[in-house]
Structure 1
Amino acid sequence: MSAAVFALNPSSLTRPCLSSRILSIFSSYHSTSVFAMAGESKSKSGGGKKKEVKKETGLGLTNKKDDNFGEWYSEVVVNADMIEYYDISGCYILRPWTMSIWEAMQEFFDAEIKKMKIKNCYFPLFVSPGVLQKEKDHIEGFAPEVAWVTKSGESDLEVPIAIRPTSETVMYPYYSKWIRGHRDLPLKLNQWCNVVRWEFSNPTPFIRSREFLWQEGHTAFATQEEADAEVLAILELYRQIYEDYLAVPVIKGKKSEMEKFAGGYYTTSVEAFIPHTGRGVQGATSHCLGQNFAKMFEITYENDKGEKAMVWQNSWAYSTRTIGVMVMTHGDDKGLVLPPKVAAVQVIVIPVPFKDADTIGIFDACASTVKLLSEAGIRAEADLRDNYSPGWKYSHWEMKGVPLRLEIGPKDLANSQVRAVRRDNSAKKDLPMTNLVDQVKELLNTIQKNLFDLAKQKRDECEVEKDVKARTKGEMGAAKTLCSPFDQPEMEDGTLCFASGKPAKKWTYWGRSY
């Protein structure tokens, strides 16, 4: 097996990797490139003693992204009103600021799968143990994380009931009932739901939580060709979610046999990378299950020749983990940074009145600006609260990651303009009110593109390291294969596998994963 692995920064054993160059600089180390690794916070609540916040605003983070990534992340997701910690470890309250991001992705994805004639449904949360154990190879991968209901009130249940970690064993007994002949195929269903996986490693909001939201698609076809085509079509939608909506660069590829979905035929994935920690993140997966589950659950049909045949199946999913990847990728020392496509508020308008200024005129201008932008389909709001200073409001909305701030003061009112301030790079520009909508739309598109370009640049600048195998051992776990890219980079003649020393045949990404 060839081994291309994102490079491990020598200093990443003691501090976060500063940068990592991918694929293009492998000429020095050939097939030894690895996702770099750095320590993660063990805080469950963004804890740690709070430092005194800035007095002028009453806002701000006590940890810097470069200094203490884990604590920084914990602070951001709380201070930006994304989550609230719950009294059960590993479970989090998703606040409206988070749900709006999830809904933006859901709106895109749901519309796209409906174009593919995939229909939404809902199956129960509970799984009988008999069904769960029917596919032993599959459930073995989930067994340590399965949560069980054992009591009803004060009475013990005669048979414990599992809470779904995924729904193959929930749904497929009914696929065998519904699929009888070739005219019943393809059967293509998706559900938006929650699942429970009782993580015992350090829970992390969005990235590793004990309950999370996701969609899971489960489809059945007459032929492998149909199943293969759908696997790649869904994987492309996942790429679009990350790159076009969340502005996070990912790599599409195929998992190794060791890392594929338990009980499946093969697994494809999109993989993201967090430069600050040097860790890879499995972003979403699209599995071809082959006929393994069809055999176990007797999902057969009569084909057009009158012969009995087994279906080919797929399953695929992405979850609220996507949001955590976005926060880690774009956030900075001021807080959250949101790509415009998923921001609940794309533009915040703030009045900046001075002493003896025409306060009413300024407030009216803010309201009319919001109305103008909103009517053009831009998600805009005005912060007209009179108990906070403009400076406090700036910090507040920067913490929440709003892509664009428009300020209106006496000078702006007099000159019929607004002052625009970008969240991604703090660039300021005066925009005349004439043609404001087009200018704001152009700025939002620029911000969206810049966030992606910057994230890709950071990812591609990671350093490489030759002794990957030795350096990935230790308490934090060794590197593992992530995926083999569909778009394979060129490989020089004589390139050797870093693990076996034999001639390499393909590039494969390795790394430590969340």
Structure 2
Amino acid sequence: MADTGGIGLTKKKDENFGEWYSEVVVHGEMIEYYDISGCYILRPWTMAIWETMQAFFNAEIKKMKIKNCYFPLLVFPAVLEKEKDHIAESEVAWVTKYGKSDLKVPIAVRPTSETVMYPYYSEWIRGHRDLPLKLNQWCNVVRWEPSNPTPFIRSREFLWQEGHTAFATKEEADKEVLEILELYRRIYEEYLAIPVVKGKKSENEKFAGGLYTTSVEAFVPNTGRGIQGATSHYLGQNFAKMFDITYENEKGEKAMIWQNSWAYSTRTIGVMVMVHGDDKGLVLPPKVASTQAIVIPVPFKDADTQAIFDACSKTVEELSEAGFRVEADLRDNYSPEWKHSHWELKGVPLRIEIGLKDLEKKQVVCVRRDNSAKVDIPIVDLVKEVKDMLDKIQQNLFDVAKQKRDASVQVARTWDEFTVALSNKKLILAPWCDEQEAEEDVKARTKGEIGAAMSLCSPFDQPQLPEGTLCFASGKPAKKWTYWGRSY
């Protein structure tokens, strides 16, 4: 391999996943570490991905008549106190001074916005004509993670959207929970090319302020850990009681609203890096990559360099006009080999090379990032072939990720099978009695240096449960199949 000037990674994904991940997100120019631990600078390469997902999600929720708004970052402790059962006090950051003076009352930085928003829902909702009230905000939140922060996956400040909706009926709320969850599945599977399982969280793992929590769950085969991809909560009337959110129904009677809340965050981007990245760096799905193809000139000493550069610029122009996100790397202080490694590290889906022979043959050379396949493309077919290749890369990334995920799933019917599967870093599907005591027992019995096993979700798509099947943990009659494993 040609010398790449030391820009490659020093750690391998299979050998030292944690350090490999840290190298990839920094050298791939996704983030930069900041002075404050757990806070990260999100560089343009990251923000472009976030904006693509945001554009998709915004368009979809607007079809559902959900409107965007913005609520303040700061919360009075008296209001936050109402939610003390739902958020970890140790994770709340506080503002205690302005200038050199102490604030009379410390003010919290929002860890989530239920308590910020719902006092106003109580004011705005008076009669049945005020319903449904469906709001979403794109914002940052702060949760002071006590353990070691990880870029994207567990950071102390992160970006997210949070939707907060109120309905006159339970049925409307139930329906929306699953509609939003389907949008989250689409973000992961259609945009990030990551397979996920849609399901319901256990009583132990649900959002404490809700009646039930649904989620999309991803899995990272290299670490054998599940990861909660996004959540859609059915809140019922818990917060309505807490904040006295009532309205006058059509009969003139006082009634209480039904609520949901739902969110996905920049964690999505970390999952994408973990699932698709390799020993050369990032591997970006074409749908979210800010640059889908990079055009690189391959000049020779005696060649007409200007003609090659002109062909590169023309290629960029033609593909850009056709709607692709394309750039040319015309820097003359780097070799083509260095550029190859640089753009591989950044995960650009397609590399287009143009040299003297390509000019003569009226072609370009295309190299796929996902599988390194190299093919000559006639200039006349360029737009059609590039579209075809990008579609194939997107699909292949999903197919390979699904194959690896599916190969990691193991059915465990007994405790012994469960512990063997856990030690082999598997995503475990096991019959469960659906009792909190049994789940707590699993956590206690598997607790170790790398964390305890937990229930991830009970999939909506339930395999058949033969009569007489017993719970793997308690030995009691099983009620459902549930995914288990260690989690981020």
TM-score of the alignment, normalized to the shorter chain, above 0.5: yes
Q: Which amino acid aligns with 1:341?
A: K
How far has the Cα of 1:473 moved from its partner? 2.5
Change in Cα spacing, 1:337 to 1:130, as seen in structure 2 (3 Å) is same
Q: In structure 2, what is the Cα distance between the partners aligned to 1:370 and 1:435?
A: 14
Cα offset for 1:482?
1.2
**Higher helix fraction: Structure 1 or Structure 2?**
2
Do residues 227 (structure 1) and 173 (structure 2) align? yes
Amino acid corresponding to residue 307 of structure 2 in structure 1 = G
2:408 is paired with a residue of what secondary structure? coil
- Equivalent of 1:93 in 38, 41, 53: 41
The 1:54–1:262 alpha-carbon spacing in structure 2 relative to 1, beyond 3 Å, is: farther
User: In 2, are the aligned partners of 1:142 and 1:165 still within 8 Å (CA)?
Assistant: no
2:8 counterpart of 1:60 = yes
* Structure 2 partner of 1:268: 214
Deviation at 1:58, TM superposition (A): 2.7
Find out whether 1:362 has 2:308 as its counterpart: yes
Task: Pick 1 or 2: higher relative contact order, CA cutoff 8 A, min separation 6.
Answer: 1
Pairs within 5 Å for 1:6-21: none
- What's 1:482 paired with? 456
Measure how far apart 1:495 and its partner are: 2.6
Where does structure 2 lack aligned partners over 5 or more consecutive residues? Answer: 420-441
Q: Kindly provide the amino acid, as one letter, of the partner of residue 118 in structure 2.
A: Y
CA distance in 2, matches of 1:201, 1:490: 39
Q: Which runs of 5+ in 1 are unaligned?
A: 1-52
Letter in 1 for 2:292: Q
- Which amino acid counterpart does residue 64 of structure 1 have in structure 2? K
Question: CA RMSD of the aligned region, Å?
Answer: 1.4
Measured against aligned partners, the alpha-carbon deviations of 1:204-256 in whole angstroms (never above 9, x if no partner) come to 00000000000000000000000000000000000000000000110000011
Q: CA deviation at 1:135?
A: 3.3
Relative to 1, partners in 2 of residues 1:308 and 1:248: Cα closer, same or farther, differing over 3 Å?
same
Q: Which residue of 356, 381, 400 maps to 2:327?
A: 381
Q: Is 1:435 the counterpart of 2:381 in the alignment? A: yes
Question: One-letter code of the match for 1:71?
Answer: E
Instruction: State how far apart, in whole Å, the 2-side matches of 1:471 and 1:408 are.
Output: 60
Conservation of the 8 A alpha-carbon contact between 2:66 and 2:135: yes
Deviation at 1:258, TM superposition (A): 0.9
Relative distance call for 1:450 and 1:296 in structure 2 (3 A) is: same
Name the residue aligned to 1:299: 245
**Which residue number corresponds to residue 253 of structure 1?**
199
1:134 aligns with 2:82: yes
1:289 aligned to 2:235? yes
Flag the 1:71–1:100 CA change in 2: closer, same or farther, 3 A.
Answer: same
How far apart are 1:493 and its partner, in Å?
4.0
Once the 2 structures are TM-superposed, how far is the Cα of residue 471 of structure 1 from its aligned partner?
7.4
Letter in 2 for 1:132: L
Match of 2:406 among 456, 460, 478: 460
Give, in whole Å, the separation in 1 of the partners of 2:464 and 2:397.
Answer: 28
Q: Decide whether the 8 Å contact of 2:3 with 2:337 is kept in 1.
A: no
TM-aligned CA distance change 1:288 to 1:395, over 3 Å: same
- Check whether the contact 2:211–2:235 (CA below 8 A) recurs between aligned residues: yes
Rounded to whole Å, the distance in 2 between the matches of 1:205 and 1:56 is 26
| Separation in structure 2 between the aligned mates of residue 471 and residue 340 of structure 1, nearest angstrom | 43
Please tell me whether the aligned partners of residues 348 and 383 of structure 1 are also in contact (alpha carbons under 8 angstroms): yes
2:185 to 236, 239, 243: 239
Contact kept, 8 Å, 2:3 with 2:338, in 1: the verdict is: no
- Residue 138 of structure 2 aligns to a residue in which SS? strand
**Residues 1:498 and 1:145: Cα distance change in structure 2 (over 3 Å):** same
Is this contact kept in 2: 1:149–1:160, CA < 8 A?
Answer: yes
Per-residue CA distance 1:109-136 (angstroms, 9 max, x = gap): 0000000000000000000001111234
Counterpart selection for 1:124 from 57, 72, 76: 72
Partner of 2:161 in structure 1?
215
Task: Tell me if 1:498 matches 2:472.
Answer: yes
Equivalent residue for 2:51?
103
How far apart, CA to CA, are the structure 2 residues paired with 1:228 and 1:245?
26
CA drift at 1:440: 0.3
Is residue 402 from structure 1 mapped to residue 380 from structure 2 by the alignment? no
Q: Are the aligned partners of 1:301 and 1:308 in contact in 2 as well (CA < 8 Å)?
A: yes
SS in 2 for 1:484: strand
CA distance in 2, matches of 1:473, 1:219: 38
Q: Is the 8 A contact 2:4 2:341 kept in 1?
A: no
How far apart are 1:264 and its partner, in Å? 0.8
